[in-house]
Amino acid sequence: MYNLNGKVALVTGAAGAAGIGRAIALRLAQEGADLVVNDLLEDDGIRSGLPDVVAEIEGLGQCALAAYADVSQADEVERMVAQALERFGRIDILVNNAGAPAGRDRVPVVDLEEDAFDLVQRVNVKGTYLCCRAVARHMLDRGGGGTIINISSMAGKFGVPRYAAYCASKFAVRGFTQALARELGAAGITVYAICPGLIASERIDDMAAALAPDGVDPADHREVMIADSIKNSALGRMVGQDDVADIAAFLASDQADFMTGASLTVDGGFRSE
């Protein structure tokens, strides 16, 4: 549907078997892009790991490189981008998808520990900035052109109790996106944010564990979260990973160019903003 033949995309935080990053990477590969997929080196026993994602992309006939890096560390980001350029010679599409795990940050602000707050900002905001800086420098050096997609959240559009650290980070991503779009537009580089609603990735298990009221089994709370999400959807179902991947593929294409700076909500009509 969208012609990404000959383009190279870098997707961060792509190791989750049910993650948004994996879905976006596969969708971009279906459109003809080669991929650099990133995540942390650690295997937490939940995420299937980058080798599986690389194999799936190769199964679609595209080339793929696994690049392990902590996106919140400047030297690791620089090394990841250098690795990508050494292998493919270019990066045309950057998707900043990596997100700090939901956990100790999902508490009322009065109980929010400083280190839990910092971790969320470090991965979600600083990680986005570092990857944008490194890849935008490359895009400018080669004469311009390219697309950057930052994954924000519905919680980047309105405040949610017990999500203050997360909301702060995802609102920040939208502001950063708008500013960067205005800086890079003259060089033909477009910058967008996507704001998904609740998705049943591995992350929802972390969220349910953190948010379950005392005495409620996290697995039961997970079902409540899913039921609420379906009830609030205009379309009667949860947001799927592929819903986000479809929008990412559109934004990565030339057809989306005049929307640069936009933050697109993908929430099945939950808020319709």
Contact 194, 263 (CB under 8 A): yes
Residue 59 CA to its chain's centroid (Å): 23
Nearest to 203 by CA among 264, 261, 120: 120
Residue-by-residue DSSP string for 228-262? HHHHH-TTSSPBPHHHHHHHHHHHHSGGGGGGTT-
Footprint on residues 135-164 left by ligand NAD (CB under 6 A): 151, 153
Point out which span in 3-11, 24-32, 95-103, 178-186 binds ligand NAD (CB under 6 A).
95-103
- Residue 33 near ligand NAD by CB under 6 A: no
Contact 167, 194 (CB under 8 A): no
Task: For residue 163, indicate whether it is catalytic.
Answer: no
- Residue 238 near ligand NAD by CB under 6 A: no
Pattern 43-62, ligand NAD, x by CB under 6 A: ----x---------------
Pattern 116-135, ligand NAD, x by CB under 6 A: -------x---x--------
- Residue 26 near ligand NAD by CB under 6 A: no
Strand pairing partners for 67?
38
Interacting residues of 215 by C-beta distance below 8 A, sequence separation 6+: none
Count of residues near ligand NAD by CB under 6 A? 29
Q: How far apart are CA 95 and CA 173, in angstroms?
A: 12
Task: For residue 170, indicate whether it is catalytic.
Answer: yes
- Residue 265 near ligand NAD by CB under 6 A: no
- Residue 203 near ligand NAD by CB under 6 A: yes
Note the residues at the interface with ligand NAD (CB under 6 A). Answer: 12-13, 15-16, 19-21, 38-40, 47, 70-72, 97-100, 123, 127, 151, 153, 196, 198-199, 201-204
Catalytic residue IDs: 166, 170
